[in-house]
Amino acid sequence: MRRLLPLALSAALPLAAQSTLVSVIRQPRATAVEFTVPITELQVKDRGDFAHLHLGVGLGVRHWDDGDNALRFVADANATANELFLGLGAIVEVPQGEGAFLGPRLRIGWAFHPRWALSLEGEHLERPFSSGLAPRRRSNVGLVATFRF
């Protein structure tokens, strides 16, 4: 038992180094904010070069310019290496009074600092279980500012 206690305490140390990602997204007809907490993170720094990998899950809100809102559930993987930022994600979006949309997203951009990046985003969401008369697809592009706290 004495050997397991130090091992359990040292396993919790990496959690202190993990950080939350906050993304502010502006799309042509909507604005969104997402908060992602890490499942795991990895950071490497070698002679001024850095690489950071963030795997996380989170929540978000999208507000359309016409006044509608939607709740977003996010699972994403973001990688930053020197000045390159790359993000892949899966989105489940639930608009008020409608069925859920789900689909992938891709972000590519520039990391101006190890803690923030500016990127372009493309996402394609579909409603898989809807009647034939309701809108079934939402594809958007946008500009994203991502901050790591």
Chain centre to alpha carbon of residue 50: 20
Q: Convert the pLDDT of each residue in 41-75 to its tens digit.
A: 888 887 777 888 999 999 999 999 998 999 999 99
Q: Per residue of the chain (149 residues), what is the pLDDT tens digit?
A: 455 444 444 444 444 456 899 999 999 999 999 999 999 988 888 777 788 899 999 999 999 999 899 999 999 999 998 889 999 999 999 998 888 899 999 999 999 887 889 999 999 999 887 666 666 788 899 999 999 88
| Distance from C-alpha of 12 to C-alpha of 101, rounded to nearest angstrom | 36
pTM here?
A: 0.80
Torsional sign, CA 52, 56, 61, 63: positive
Query: How high is the pLDDT of residue 145?
Result: 97
